[in-house]
Structure 1
């Protein structure tokens, strides 16, 4: 019997595989070498092209931004309210300007500055007629605006006045450091849009550093923007020792004094964008790439040879075993090997069995998920092209709503909902084997029960659940609503909608409630005009106990008339918003109240006593804030309000009140606005409309007579002003109050 040779022969598998690998390695090495040589010669051109492309992208984004900015500014500049205000300034004194139009413009400005894609710090309109300035937060004088709020050595107040007569339509001015009244400084770039035919213009103060961070595409931070006169508009550089390039060249880049200068001028805005890259940085990149490529090439060759030898030997050994086995037919073929393919052959049957079990389990899981999705789709009327499952048994749904009350948050709502869903599923499946339970929202769990005779048994099953859930009612309050019985799968959504409406009928309670039929829900609850005025004065006076007593009476009235929990929540939330609005109107700081008494806390209240304790804490803090505000009481404002209270039915002008205080009308108007947040006329209208509400509730006078008694001799003016302050006409208001009584 011949013996196998110790070393593989030339025609063996090992030599054949190894030689083929060497040929492939040689070809790849040759290709890499020529590629490396070619790349080495062209890498500088590629780096320059890349920097030019980066600059082009930067210019494109800057130009698109300036075009979008100009369009937004023109939209505001061309608004009819702006021309109306300008016309009023040309013909009226400043105190007779319609400040409602000013307020509308300020809302538009606030929306513009809130747009994060405009990178805008502020925007304002300057009217030359009365040197009036309107910005998003007020109407400061130009001296105060640019001496206190936005102070800059480059842009004095006189600069902004001179722009009214300048002859351009759109201009970008150099960025400068502006000191703000908050003590901070910010680099801003003024942009002005105007029409030479008008004497007013709009200006935006944009944040060039934010533009640079979002638009600049380069490996270096040296970046300049020049205007059409080759003057710097924006400079961003780590070094203060820089030199502007010579731009009178045909090419769009050049090398000089150790730097590469890349530049491009936009035909739209006339701006020139310059990016400066140090020469040594480009050559360092080339050298680093050369070294890296050479090292990779050498390491690849070594690894390829070693891998070829190792792989050839691993492939040759099992093949040799197969050949030896073929030479000895009675021998048992041992397929165990370190090679994965031969191990795969030996364990093929076991792996196929394991794979078959995994596929079976996966199909069961996906089948359950698809079934849940199918029901959720029908409950929420999500239509697809899937086919109906066919005729089903009569069914009804039980919808559970979870109100999470655990203030320490030891468990998240998701965890609570999961545990409750599993518990509900296990509990109801004992009584209703064909039922199934799914979580349909983060705070809603739905159980579908099938069968004709199951509706009578559900209340008993829910009572058992109630006994369990009430043990944890301090952490989570549960409400269960049971729909009517339905007979068709197309009525899934109707059953779900019915259950949702039943949940609206939950009463104020601190335990689980089971709702099986619709409950009558009374109308809306709110203060009468007399109660609202009483509440207004009590709150302004800081009378904590009286406010709480007024609310207690209303809550008891609601409970006696059968109000549901949602109505208690809505009424209490309205009280919170109303209180905050009243306090803000009299300039009481409400930031602490907004933070500590958010309406979301009301959702966790489940009894009238809890509501009263909540409002006792709230109004106690309110009384403290009002007390602090009273210590800062302004005698001038007190005189004005008292004068309005005594003479509201007469034609009292601002000039009359100013004469009694020995003040100019314009100064008094601004003073009232700054101290109270409302102008003089708004205070008169507020008091008159309050008196009108009293007369509408407590007298039989007609609308015209009531208008005359409170100072409105034109019925149309009275109706318009009443609707503006209350949202309804006097006639509708009287009818609504009569229905409530």
Structure 2
């Protein structure tokens, strides 16, 4: 029986009561919103001004902190006794020709321009008296540097020659556009802000720091959304993001303020550290439009909210009332049939059973989906870290990544002092321990664990809080592993990045930090590169000649004593494990050169096989390096001693003659005449005894000597070609590239510029 409509809308009915309740709530919320709108509309202007002043204050703090940090790092460098002594030597480079310290000074410079947080494009040392500069690419004349490589109309070579510092230590100059001009093209370098530094105590030596003002603006400003200006204490414009000049303003002595001129607001503040004035410009129209737009939007939203609320209140009340009415009708029918039938109705029990079954299935499906989503999310993060493009079908995964949240990353590298029986089980247990340590009190969605390589674990922590908390957890892990002597970790910790920093860059920075590991079998936590880190050991020409002479002597005691001294020197300098690897590889390469000169081809294969793969991956002590080098050099020394006793006199004469006369115009016929032999017979016996043709050996000898001469940047390539026996420079360049894969100029630029001299 259908219930009458009047009973559904009775005064005490459910529908009327629901509507009255909704209307009361809507009226209350509408009144509150209207009052809030009327009250806050008068405060919006002050809030906009406050936000602009606060934004400028944050910008000023960022710039001031950056200038202070840059000055402190430069002061720390210039206060080094070694730095001062090296500058004194380089001030008279044409007299003393001490090119051997260039690499050390360049390494000191790299600690500044290599720091990505300082935004330094280059650090140039200008030796005014000598009229040359030293920068990251090497030595250049003042004219070439500021006429070609860093050319600007405002900062010519004559401008820098005329500069004096008087009693100043640091002078910041206006930003200007620079270009790099080569033989065939001109490449813009963008705007750079020169900072001139006095290299105390030398009056004629200056440091020139090239700051990148665009990256500073991106880091501390609002990335060009509003015009921004920096002026020094004398009112000179240092940097501007707009071409329009600033009007005359009455800048405060120390506090911030703002001023309206025409259609623009000028917000300005003076830096306490530098005395610079920072100005930010905001359009009046933007503030006024924002106010009008906000009032209109609030009015529209209030009206729409009231109308939509009324409509949905009616629909919701009606839709909620109708099922209840149908249920009441069904109950009425059941009641009319007798109370016994009411208990016999099974629909509610069936609905409950079905709902339980549905919920159980939903829980199972949800758990399965969560597990699969976790795997897919790890897959997406791994591709992000390694910069691998995602499949087009998986493009929606980008939305699931924490791409805009601040995060910190930690890279763990596992090493064993002794390989256990089941290394996979040890590795899995350690990775699980690390995840448990960082999972305490942290939601699962805020951390991601990746394994880029078998021995690497990358942990991404989103919204991690201060870095000190991360280091505290890592300290606990370090204490737990202190008693575990069969394995150790190298842990690289990043700072807390903003969401704009790509995961690929964070992973690359951590991989670089791993190379800072010191040589021992303990767990190490590395947060940043050490400023006092030992310079990488390279087999320099002098070291190579010394080792070559020792190897030729065949004295095992002398050679191993030399190795012990070099290893001890690296240990005393607190060198990294990578430095020890470089040293060991350099010794092996020099031994290979000596073996080639001694005509011991069977040992060349052994030396090459010893360097294949990763022979030093498991080394964690100087004793292991000494044992490896002893095993490598002992057979070489024995073969050299044996060869010196049994060497063929004809071959010995040829090798010694070529070693002394390789710079002359010699050939097979000339050497054969010296021995009263035919050239054909000498060629065959030389090939038989050495395993290499006469011409190939002579070219190899000349190219190796040329590589040593190329380390002196004062020598021209044409002169070096003549010194090693090539009358035609084009033939020399062709043979050099065939042997080394690089032209002589490319070889010099690479190895002199990278401290491989």
TM-score scaled to structure 1, two decimals? 0.51
3-state secondary structure, aligned to 1:254:
strand
Aligned counterparts of 1:288 and 1:363: Cα–Cα separation in 2:
43
Q: Is the 8 A contact 1:55 1:217 kept in 2?
A: no
Aligned residue number for residue 194 of structure 1:
198
Aligned residue number for residue 83 of structure 1:
84
Q: Is the 8 A contact 1:77 1:201 kept in 2?
A: no
Aligned residue number for residue 14 of structure 1:
15
3-state secondary structure, aligned to 1:155:
coil
Pick aligned residue for 1:240 from 237, 244, 253:
244
Aligned counterparts of 2:604 and 2:357: Cα–Cα separation in 1:
76
3-state secondary structure, aligned to 2:299:
helix
Aligned counterparts of 1:638 and 1:293: Cα–Cα separation in 2:
82
Distance 1:245 1:336, change over 3 A: farther
Matched, 1:637 2:720: yes
3-state secondary structure, aligned to 1:106:
helix
Aligned residue number for residue 348 of structure 1:
355
Aligned residue number for residue 142 of structure 1:
142
> Any idea what the Cα deviations from partners look like across 1:180-215, whole Å, max 9, x if unmatched?
234122211011232675413322011112211222
Aligned counterparts of 2:346 and 2:617: Cα–Cα separation in 1:
74
Distance 1:4 1:258, change over 3 A: same
Aligned counterparts of 2:590 and 2:138: Cα–Cα separation in 1:
32
Matches within 5 A, 1:29-108: 29-88=30-89, 94-108=94-108
Aligned counterparts of 1:357 and 1:89: Cα–Cα separation in 2:
74
Per-residue deviation at 1:2?
11
The range that moved more, 345-354 or 67-76, is 345-354
Per-residue deviation at 1:55?
0.6
Q: Is the 8 A contact 2:230 2:276 kept in 1?
A: yes
Distance 1:188 1:364, change over 3 A: closer
Matches within 5 A, 1:154-553: 154-182=154-182, 183-185=186-188, 186-194=190-198, 197-199=201-203, 200-217=205-222, 220-237=225-242, 239-240=243-244, 243-247=247-251, 252-328=257-333, 329=335, 330=337, 347-351=354-358, 353-354=360-361, 375=425, 532-533=593-594, 535=596
Q: Is the 8 A contact 1:226 1:234 kept in 2?
A: yes
Per-residue deviation at 1:154?
1.6
Aligned residue number for residue 607 of structure 1:
none
3-state secondary structure, aligned to 2:155:
coil
Q: Is the 8 A contact 1:525 1:567 kept in 2?
A: no
Aligned counterparts of 1:220 and 1:557: Cα–Cα separation in 2:
61
Q: Is the 8 A contact 1:133 1:139 kept in 2?
A: yes
Aligned residue number for residue 120 of structure 1:
120
Matches within 5 A, 1:544-693: 554-555=604-605, 634-641=717-724, 677=748
Per-residue deviation at 1:296?
1.1
Gaps of 5+ in 1: 366-371, 387-438, 445-491, 496-522, 538-545, 575-618, 644-672, 683-723, 727-741
Equivalent residues, number: 454
Distance 1:76 1:174, change over 3 A: same
Distance 1:385 1:12, change over 3 A: closer
Q: Is the 8 A contact 2:233 2:276 kept in 1?
A: yes
Per-residue deviation at 1:144?
2.2
Q: Is the 8 A contact 1:89 1:129 kept in 2?
A: no
Q: Is the 8 A contact 2:150 2:180 kept in 1?
A: yes
Aligned counterparts of 1:49 and 1:317: Cα–Cα separation in 2:
54
Per-residue deviation at 1:95?
3.6
Per-residue deviation at 1:285?
1.4
Aligned counterparts of 1:532 and 1:275: Cα–Cα separation in 2:
64
3-state secondary structure, aligned to 1:269:
coil
> Any idea what the Cα deviations from partners look like across 1:624-680, whole Å, max 9, x if unmatched?
xx8xx99xx95422444579xxxxxxxxxxxxxxxxxxxxxxxxxxxxx989849xx
> Any idea what the Cα deviations from partners look like across 1:228-267, whole Å, max 9, x if unmatched?
0111011111x53653534269860011111100000011
Distance 1:725 1:28, change over 3 A: closer
Q: Is the 8 A contact 2:588 2:607 kept in 1?
A: no
TM-score scaled to structure 2, two decimals? 0.50
Greater relative contact order (Cα < 8 A, sep 6+):
2
Aligned counterparts of 1:364 and 1:210: Cα–Cα separation in 2:
41
> Any idea what the Cα deviations from partners look like across 1:58-99, whole Å, max 9, x if unmatched?
111111111111122222222323321343367x56241532
Aligned residue number for residue 109 of structure 2:
109
Per-residue deviation at 1:57?
0.9
Aligned residue number for residue 683 of structure 2:
none
Aligned counterparts of 2:367 and 2:272: Cα–Cα separation in 1:
67
The range that moved more, 37-46 or 94-103, is 94-103
Aligned residue number for residue 608 of structure 1:
none
Aligned counterparts of 1:164 and 1:16: Cα–Cα separation in 2:
88
Q: Is the 8 A contact 1:165 1:196 kept in 2?
A: no
Aligned counterparts of 2:3 and 2:47: Cα–Cα separation in 1:
62
Aligned counterparts of 1:343 and 1:493: Cα–Cα separation in 2:
63
Distance 1:536 1:291, change over 3 A: farther
Q: Is the 8 A contact 1:70 1:193 kept in 2?
A: no
3-state secondary structure, aligned to 2:154:
coil
Aligned counterparts of 1:65 and 1:349: Cα–Cα separation in 2:
62
Q: Is the 8 A contact 2:585 2:611 kept in 1?
A: no
3-state secondary structure, aligned to 2:43:
helix
Q: Is the 8 A contact 1:132 1:142 kept in 2?
A: yes
Aligned counterparts of 1:89 and 1:364: Cα–Cα separation in 2:
64
Q: Is the 8 A contact 1:164 1:201 kept in 2?
A: no
Aligned counterparts of 2:202 and 2:430: Cα–Cα separation in 1:
57
> Any idea what the Cα deviations from partners look like across 1:370-422, whole Å, max 9, x if unmatched?
xx999556765976899xxxxxxxxxxxxxxxxxxxxxxxxxxxxxxxxxxxx
Per-residue deviation at 1:315?
1.5
Per-residue deviation at 1:146?
1.5
Distance 1:152 1:14, change over 3 A: same
Aligned counterparts of 1:568 and 1:295: Cα–Cα separation in 2:
72
Per-residue deviation at 1:326?
4.0
Aligned residue number for residue 702 of structure 1:
none
Aligned counterparts of 2:206 and 2:612: Cα–Cα separation in 1:
56
Per-residue deviation at 1:302?
0.8
3-state secondary structure, aligned to 1:180:
strand
Per-residue deviation at 1:347?
3.5
